[in-house]
Structure 1
Amino acid sequence: MRTWDQPPDGPFERSDLDRLRIPRQQLAEWLALGAVVHPVRGVYLAERCAGDTGARAAALARRLPPGAAVARSTAAWLQGFDPRAPDQADAPLPLECVVPVGATPPRRPGVVARQSLLLPGDVVDVDGVPVTSPDRTALDLLRHLRPHMGLAVLDAMTAASAAAPDALLERLAGMPGQRSVARARRLVELCEPASESYGESWLRLRLVDAGFPRPEPQIWIHDRAGRGLYRLDLGWRERKVATEYDGVEFHGSPAARAADLRRRDRLAREHGWTVVGVGRGEVLGHSLALELGVGHLLGIAPTIRRRTW
């Protein structure tokens, strides 16, 4: 008979003890030691896995009524897309799910359950867990996340071919009168699979919200032989003006910042491009200095008076 030094990795219930060959006394000892937790009523999970979103979702799946699914932020995470804003990057995701209208939702601290109509094809299997499909997940996030995060996740999903803008627009056309459909439609129309970071998505949204023409992504600057020398995040070729998002990971060190300055100086001297680098504070802050500065370079007065996200 197998002996267990520690709880199994996945979720389990009392009804699983005989199959797993876990003595009831062993479970009692784990509970007394805090070695197992209850992410969902009646379902146990090793404490070492308590921060694992996949393990928590698998535990929740054991208590979902028929036809229900893990949804929204949790669904996005399970499909490989992080829906958390920067100030929440280290926070555990809530367990979110949707249940069919009329079904009893699970009730547990840390579980957010909602009733919703689930259409055929809205639920897929991810490692044994029923999860809203990528298209349904994208629609939910576009309608319920803050706009910059909804757009960033959608850009990532379309870049990975996990969601298709045309299919999303078709579904939105069949949802007249529902909450935040107009906002979701606008974000789908603004999505850009060529975006390479959430920061680029946020920056693009700020520029468009300011009333500027939609910038072109990933502009290559070539030498006379046609070789690619530099690539710019977002820009307007006719004005030779570009903006770039300087994230902390790749642009935060003094050496990286110095390299950025040298690169942008060469772009100005040798190619006539003016490149404005901005960080997270400028993109997510409330100052309109970004819009005013870019507007001055483009010769266009920004139409925005206050950032709403």
Structure 2
Amino acid sequence: MGALDEPFPGSWAMAAGLVSRWELRRNFVRVFPDVYLRKGCTLDAGGRARAAAHWAKGDGVLVGYSAAALHGTRWLDPDAPAHIARTGHRRSPCGIRVVRAAIEPAECCEVDGFRVTTPARTAFDLGRQLPRDEAVAVIDALCAATGLTPSEIETVARAHPGERGMARLSTIIDLVDGGAESPPESHTRLLLIDAGLPRPTTQLVVRDACGAFVARVDMGWEPWRVAVEYDGAQHWTDPTQRTKDIDRIAVLESLGWRVIRVNATLLRHRPHIILDRVRVALHAQGWTDDQGALVAATFE
């Protein structure tokens, strides 16, 4: 990617002889004051974060969604405002949200030359600020991208006693699981937990009687051989993927597994159907409600 194929400071590009003022006006659009993007290009969450950092000219630290984006977190809203922490003047253009805060040096790092909060501090901020389900999904994705663990978030939390949102954060840390591969998988897992079912294991590996790999399921319970799979659109529209799914489920069922499939419509509009099917499958495989209470108690 060329230097002018992502957000850049216009004054720097002209001073470096990369573009003339006329070319800047003709071939690029202004994203923020003195920050430009080539016409025809679109900003994702990472690009918006970089644009905000250029606007701040090094005076600030990318936080929240913007830090998460530069750490490689997927599924972020590309139209959400960029977030940056500064200690001085707070006025900002539309599309940038300035937070007045001083971030400890130990909680900052660099990504591609931009100052951002560490993954643990980023999760600490997001977990205190976002609604529970959104926070869990974003932090799940952040953990998947960076290898962050809940214990690292707890370490940051202990260093900031009394901060607003700590009770919410504690609940969210308890629910985080970096094994989720998409927000719908996170939301499906939360649905099951909220219903009092035992916590599923994410990215559960299924093996045959000889120990050979058979499949990896989105989430499930090995003791009862029940799996829950979230199927995105490609699982229904791609014939090749559809055939693989049919064969895969047939193999799992031949090994005594029950597979409950979930899609967006069921998750959004008929979650009770998902819960009914999971309960029926678990009971049929030998699970009892008393076992569910026992498993839940181990996480309290």
Q: How many residue pairs end up in the alignment?
A: 284
Aligned sequence identity (%): 29
In the TM superposition, what is the alpha-carbon distance from 1:75 to its structure 2 partner? 1.8
TM-score (normalised: structure 1): 0.76
For 1:218, the equivalent position in structure 2 comes to 203
Structure 1 residues 49 and 56, CA, compared in 2 at 3 Å: closer, same or farther? farther
The 1-side partners of 2:42 and 2:247 are apart by 46
2:38 matched residue in structure 1? 46
Task: State the alpha-carbon separation in 2 of the partners of residues 119 and 221 from structure 1.
Answer: 44
Q: Larger radius of gyration, structure 1 or 2?
A: 1
What corresponds to 1:164 in structure 2? 149
* Aligned residue runs from structure 1 range 91-170, under 5 A: 91-100=78-87, 103-170=88-155
Alignment of 1:1-309 (within 5 A): 8-9=4-5, 11-14=8-11, 17-20=14-17, 26-28=20-22, 30-31=24-25, 33=26, 35-49=27-41, 51=43, 54-64=46-56, 68-84=60-76, 88=77, 91-100=78-87, 103-253=88-238, 256-257=241-242, 259-268=244-253, 270-285=254-269, 287-299=271-283
Find the aligned partners of 2:245 and 2:46 in 1 and give their Cα distance. Answer: 38
User: Secondary structure of the equivalent of 2:177?
Assistant: coil
Unaligned runs of 5+ in 1: 1-6, 304-309
Cα distance, 1:209 vs structure 2: 1.4
Residue 154 of structure 2 aligns to a residue whose secondary structure is helix
| Cα-to-partner distance string for 1:9-33 (whole Å, 9 max, x where unaligned) | 45234476344275xxx414642x3
More helix by share: 2
1:204 positional shift = 1.4
Contact kept? 2:10, 2:24, Cα under 8 Å:
no
8 Å CA contact 1:234–1:243 kept in 2: the answer is yes
Give the distance between the partners of 1:11 and 1:236, measured in 2 at CA: 49
C-alpha distance in structure 1 between counterparts of 2:181 and 2:150, whole Å: 17
- SS of match in other structure, 2:156: helix
Query: Is the 1:37–1:46 contact (alpha carbons within 8 Å) kept by the matching residues of 2?
Result: yes
Structure 2 gaps, min length 5: 294-300
Contact 1:49 1:55 in 2 (8 A): no
